[in-house]
Structure 1
Amino acid sequence: MKGLYQVAAALAASPLVLSVPNTNPLTPRATTFNNPVLWQDHPDLDVFRVGDVFYYSSSTFAYSPGAPVLKSYDLVNWEPVSHSVPELNFGSKYNLNGTGSAYVKGIWASSLRYRASNDKFYWMGCVEGKTHIWTSPGNGAAKNKGEVSNWNWTSNPPINSCYYDCGILVDDDDTMYVVYGNTDISVAQLSADGLKQVKSQSVYKHSGETIEGSRMYKINGYYYIFVTRPASAEYVLRSKSVWGPYTMKTILSNIKGPLSSAGVAHQGGIVGTADNKWYYAAFLDAYPGGRIPVLAPITWTSDGWPQLVTDNGSWGKSYPMPVQTTKTVASPLGTDEFKGTSLSHEWEWNHNPDKTKFRLLGGADGGLVLQTADVTNDLFAARNTLTHRIMGPKSSGTFRLDISKMKDGDRAGAVLFRDRAAYIGIHKDGETSTIVMVNGLTLSEDNWSTTGRGNVAARGPNVGAGTGEVWFRITADITPAFGTNTERTTSFAYSIDGGRTYANLGPAFGMSNSWRYFTGYRFGVFNFATKAKGGEVTVKSFGMQLV
């Protein structure tokens, strides 16, 4: 993000924040790192290295664009640089245009790899029963120490088989394989261009418990398949042949994690550094914030099996820094004034957006114009809600909105977005614009249809016709409370004096700890019509900082 905050003071002020000092780009030569490496919702991670650059792909479900690509130089500090799936081309419901919604569907447990022989990145994921494939030229990544100057993703015809929880392998002889499956693990060999299936074969059948989340590697002549037992263990299968037979060993099972009230680290993969040090990256179930990445070193036994490095049997809260480098990536904290020609890759819409109803103003002042894209009284059915991951353990997101062009019946504001949601915003009725806090927005866990369209829990001042800018701030505590009855809370505030002072509005909002929606809470900004389209707001800036 542009205009980085100086976060050193905040890090020193709160003992909770000490868990994420690696988010501070001012200390690139730190000798240790703390878990989690990125306190944001980035689940089902697939991590690999090209030259000096590590890449990370994760799940996004119905959010669009999908399958974010993050990069790092040290496996600890990460920056989003692209999305492998710029448009969810999986069916009309991903457009949220009256044909139903795709909440909790879409992209999960997919895979991303780089193939040096044709300088191409491949993304694959099973969606709606087919394996979708997007590719991008690497722009000479292999020759440029892993750097990619420009991403240009192209959709390819899908494979008419579901590669469930898949992992891509480019073998030493350049043959491409995909490992996939739930309990019955299979390997598919792909065509020379990597776009079609040549054959598929079951290579390991497990009994008595579910295994999934496959990742595949070729190391020192052995094929390794890492699989998870959700949500508490990680196993590894090994064979001298890609087709088996495979032998299984346990990497971890029910070990204590680095954070309390969070799950066991699982469903990840391994990655090696340039100097042949190896790490296992996984995620913790850490609701209400979602599933967040953690990292630990691995060692190898004399007979070639990986072993997790623990701290007296627990996942370490800190470890030595994997890579010493002066290269840095942008902090996830800071202010975005929307001055570019496209949205930065921190942002994702609630579904595919209506591209005719938003635009970036560019220029020195910047700004993002959100026109009303739907007439509805249901926020979950409204297109073009723009979301941003929350930074843990506690952070604020502040949206600066120009509301002067709202129309009668319009609803706009800042939302804490998930299946149980709340917002602070403007209700425009006639010539009156009233600041309100609304809660009671809910989706059914049975079919993700709307069960609650919200109730006005508190009213603030009427800001009058022709009012220009209003600031809305959401402060969210996403300290893990998974598996507990504790409700982490969020507060809402507004400013009408240019962002100098803020007034809280409404009761504290209790967040859900349920895993069933899978993704964690997000900050979001929205604008929809309840009477007629034609109104608009301009998002002048968004700032996120730890509190």
Structure 2
Amino acid sequence: MCVFSSVTLAAHNPVVNMDLPDVSVVQAGNKYYMSSTTMHLSPGLPILKSDDLVNWEIVSYAYDRLVENEEINLQNGKNAYGKGSWASSLRYHNNRFYVSTFSATSGKTHIYSTTDVETGDWQSHSFEPALHDNSLFFDDDGRVYMIYGGGQIKLIELDEDATSIKPEGLNKILIDNANLVFGEHDAGGLPAEGSQMFKINGKYYLFTIASPESHWSRTVIVHRADEITGPYESRIMMQDRQVAQGGLIQAPDGAWYAMLFGDRGPVGRIPFLVPVSWQNNWPVLGVEGKVPDILPHLPARAGYKGLVSSDDFERKEGDRLLPLVWQWNHNPDDKNWTLLSDPGRLRISTSRIDENVLHARNTLTQRTFGPTSSANTQIDVSNMKDGDVAGLIALQKEYGFIGVRAEGDNKIIIVEQAAPGSDKPVPPKSSVGSQASVPQGQEAVFLRIDCDFRTNVASFYYKFDDEDWIPLGSKLHMRYTIPEHFMGYRFGLFNYATKTPGGSVDFNYYQVGKRSEIY
């Protein structure tokens, strides 16, 4: 007799092991929706959907282009790295979705809304000033507010349609120094920020993130009041594994959770789901105050479909030109990229001279993910001009790429890395193993990058045709930079000119996955 047993796989933390910081979650019908931060990338302010709080996919972006200026367009030596749009607040009110953010690049607070979060157009409104880490809040009496600030937490009233500040509306300080919860001797650390406001059973709960002065430890602080204007009582609710900033969500079965993010170095700030219980009308986070590794009542993650994806650049009628997993590094120059068919391929052309890869326009990116991820591409280099550089990058301030550099009639495969602590490249080496020649007449080159976030090292490879991958150059020691780029490493496809504009390269495909799955 055979005995069969069924095994139900449970969810594990982190629920998503990739850069999705500043999360804000709502429930609408039987779905969950989440917004996150992608700063200088375009399109921006991604909206994700899930059935179970564990498996997420991108379904839309609140904007295609945040603003038009030299910084976000990578013009005249300016950039928006580490800026763009920051922590958002996603809300669902009267069958309409609202998401707010703020931007040092535009100098404004931005509010987007739609009745169809997945396929509808987002209406855009903005106003000055840029309200830091704001939380959009609709109260039961019809009044609308934003709670914002760092250290000192403030409230300001908006018009009923949540499009502008209400003239002569409520405008006051809610908490003069939210860090005093650590004690006066320890209140000088990271000022409390990342506000998210909730109203539950008639009480107001304000979540913030902070760190004490004596040691760096991201901390969840919850402030509670009977009236939105206060007074607020504050408590430290969790201080574990650098996991904080986010807010509450209730599942249909009545269970409560907090969706937060945790700092995890070069892979970025990644989502953790923490169970919540209630004691004396206070939300108690975690299991005995800790972030659990296992979430037994939720299904296991089924992969990262909808968050990253391979692409053969073939499109059928009605398809999006670029799937939602793709984002440009800054606003693209749409005159200088295109998708070609038969066969499908992405062409990136050059129209100006650039100093290095971080200044190049039209770098097309996707997230990396942990613990290991790998990307590879095939690039047609036959239309490069002298001085052009094109390839595959692990993008951050301290970047590393493997690419092809055109030198007169010759083409050289190179590995370039930013110097530690700098966005300038390390001077090129002429030693054996640091570069390779492309044979005359060879038009296609295969390039590959492996990222291992257990050791925070990236490795570079190339090949021609159907042969074994050949390692090239030294390994990149990946490092998360704050406040410069302020995001996890991303894979990117790029092309830029250093001497003469007008060249182009074709990327024939993009493949991404766990290293063990694709090699």
**TM-score tier (shorter):** 0.7 to 0.9
Specify whether residues 358 and 333 from structure 1 end up closer, same or farther in structure 2 by C-alpha distance, changes over 3 A only.
closer
Partner amino acid for 1:524? G
Cα-to-partner distance string for 1:489-533 (whole Å, 9 max, x where unaligned): 1110012114x5211111112122544432121111110111221
Query: Residue 356 of structure 1: SS of its match in structure 2?
Result: helix
Structure 2 partner of 1:265: 243
Cα deviation, 1:368-402, whole Å, max 9, x if unaligned, reads 21111431231111111122110101111112222
Aligned equivalent of 1:418: 396
Cα distance in 2, alignment partners of residues 383 and 505 from structure 1: 26
Q: Aligned match of 2:92 in 102, 114, 135?
A: 114
Q: Give the alignment partner of residue 343 of structure 1, picking from 318, 322, 328.
A: 322
**2:479 pairs with 1:512:** yes
Question: Secondary structure at the residue paired with 2:508?
Answer: strand
**Alpha carbons of structure 1 residues 150 and 536: separation in structure 2 relative to 1, 3 Å:** same
1:77 correspondence with 2:52: no
Please say if residues 438 and 456 of structure 1, whose CA atoms lie closer than 8 Å, have aligned partners that are also in contact: no
**AA of the residue aligned to 2:124:** S
Could you say which residue in structure 2 is the equivalent of 1:142?
A: none
Q: CA deviation at 1:314?
A: 2.7
- After superposition, residues 441-460 of structure 1 pair within 5 angstroms as 444=422, 450-452=423-425, 455-456=428-429, 458-460=434-436
Kindly indicate whether residue 83 of structure 2 is the aligned counterpart of residue 102 of structure 1: no
Write the deviation string for residues 422-456 of structure 1: whole angstroms up to 9, x where unpaired.
21111112221221112235674xxxxx5437525
For the structure 1 residues 378 and 129, does the alpha-carbon distance in structure 2 shift closer, same or farther, using more than 3 Å as the test? Answer: closer
1:494 matched to 2:469? The reply is no
Q: C-alpha displacement at 1:92, in angstroms?
A: 2.0
Aligned: 1:319 with 2:295: yes
Is it true that 1:468 corresponds to 2:435 in the alignment? no
Separation of aligned partners in 2, 1:494 and 1:128? 38
Q: What secondary structure, in the 3-state scheme, does the structure 1 residue paired with 2:42 have? A: coil
Q: C-alpha distance in 1, partners of 2:293/2:151?
A: 31
1:377 is the counterpart of 2:355:
yes
In 1, the alpha carbon distance for the partners of 2:204 and 2:403 equals 54
- Distance in 2 (alpha carbons) for counterparts of 1:421 and 1:508: 11
Distance 1:187 1:181 in 2: 9
| 1:226 equivalent among 207, 217, 220 | 207
Deviation at 1:292, TM superposition (A): 1.0
Q: 1:236 aligns with which of 211, 215, 222?
A: 222
> For the aligned residues, what is the CA RMSD?
2.5
3-state secondary structure, aligned to 1:92: coil
Q: Give the match for residue 284 of structure 1.
A: 262
Decide whether aligned partners of structure 1 residues 317 and 289 sit closer, same or farther in structure 2, where only a CA change above 3 A counts: same
Q: Aligned pair 1:478/2:461, yes or no? A: no
Q: Deviations over 1:259-303 (max 9, x none)?
A: xxxxx10111111112221111111111121111111110111x3
Shift of 1:64: 1.9
> Which of 120, 123, 144 matches 1:176?
144
Q: 1:399 to 1:181 in 2, by over 3 A?
A: same
Q: Which residue of 1 is the match for residue 198 of structure 2?
A: 217
Q: Which residue of 2 aligns with 1:153?
A: 122
CA contact (8 A) 2:384 2:505 kept: yes
Please list the CA deviations of residues 328-365 of structure 1 after superposition, one character each: whole Å capped at 9, or x if unmatched: 9835454212234421222222211111111123x564
Scaled by the length of structure 1, the TM-score of the pair is 0.83
Give yes or no for contact 2:100–2:134 (8 Å, CA) kept in 1.
no
Q: Secondary structure at the match of 2:46?
A: strand
**Partner Cα separation in structure 2 for residue 205 and residue 475 of structure 1:** 47
Structure 1: runs of 5+ lacking an equivalent: 1-28, 140-147, 258-263, 445-449, 480-486
Identify if the C-alpha distance between structure 1 residues 294 and 120 changes in structure 2 by more than 3 Å, giving closer, same or farther: closer
- Once residues 447 and 253 of structure 2 are traced to their aligned partners in structure 1, the CA distance between those partners, rounded to angstroms, is 47
Within the candidate set 173, 185, 194, 1:202 is matched to 173
Instruction: Tell me the distance in 1 between the aligned counterparts of 2:502 and 2:105.
Output: 35
CA contact (8 A) 1:289 1:390 kept: yes
Distance 1:342 1:34, change over 3 A: same
What's the % identity of the aligned pairs? 33
Contact kept in structure 2, 1:273 and 1:323, CA below 8 Å: no
Q: Aligned partners of 1:456, 1:426: CA distance in 2, in Å?
A: 15
Contact map agreement 2:87 2:101 (CA 8 A) in 1: no
Equivalent residue for 2:336, pick from 337, 343, 357: 357
Aligned match of 2:34: 56
CA distance in 2, matches of 1:533, 1:114: 47
Cα deviation digits, residues 115-163 of structure 1 (max 9, x gap): 325x343333243474332424223xxxxxxxx441423432x221231
Q: Distance in 2 between matches of 1:494 and 1:51?
A: 48
Amino acid paired to 1:358: W
1:202 alignment partner AA: I
Kept in 2: contact 1:130–1:161 (CA 8 A): yes
Is the partner of 2:72 in helix, strand or coil? helix
Residue type matched to 1:315 in 2?
V
Change (3 A) 1:129 1:241: farther
Q: Secondary structure at the match of 1:473?
A: strand
Partner of 2:196, secondary structure, is strand
Which residue in 2 is equivalent to 1:247?
233
Partners in 1 of 2:304 and 2:496 — Cα distance?
35
Distance 1:451 1:437, change over 3 A: closer
Q: Name the aligned partner's letter for residue 355 of structure 1.
A: D
Please tell me the residue identity of whatever aligns with 2:23: L
Counterpart CA distance in 2 for 1:177 and 1:321 is: 35
Q: Distance in 2 between matches of 1:440 and 1:131?
A: 32
What displacement does 1:30 show?
4.8
Matched residue SS, 1:380: helix
Q: What letter matches 2:450 in structure 1?
A: T
CA pair 219-329 structure 1, distance change in 2 beyond 3 A: farther
Cα offset, 1:43, TM superposition: 1.0
User: Is the deviation greater in 164-173 or in 182-191?
Assistant: 164-173
Aligned partners of 2:437, 2:270: CA distance in 1, in Å?
A: 38
Paired residue secondary structure (1:438): strand
Distance in 2 of aligned mates of 1:356 and 1:129: 24
Question: What is the aligned partner in structure 2 of residue 190 from structure 1?
Answer: 158
Paired residue for 1:135? 112
Distance 1:267 1:149 in 2: 25
Q: Which amino acid aligns with 1:168?
A: L
Alpha-carbon distance between aligned partners in 1 of 2:355 and 2:308, rounded to the nearest angstrom: 33
SS across alignment from 2:335:
helix
Q: Which amino acid aligns with 1:527?
A: N
1:521 aligns with 2:489: yes
Unaligned runs of at least 5 residues, structure 2: 1-6, 181-186, 212-216
Change in 2 beyond 3 A, CA 1:104/1:333: closer
Instruction: Identify the range of structure 1 (452-461 vs 210-219) with the bigger mean alpha-carbon deviation.
Output: 452-461
Answer yes or no: is the 8 Å Cα contact 2:336–2:351 preserved in 1. yes
Q: CA deviation at 1:91?
A: 3.1
CA distance in 2, matches of 1:421, 1:292: 20
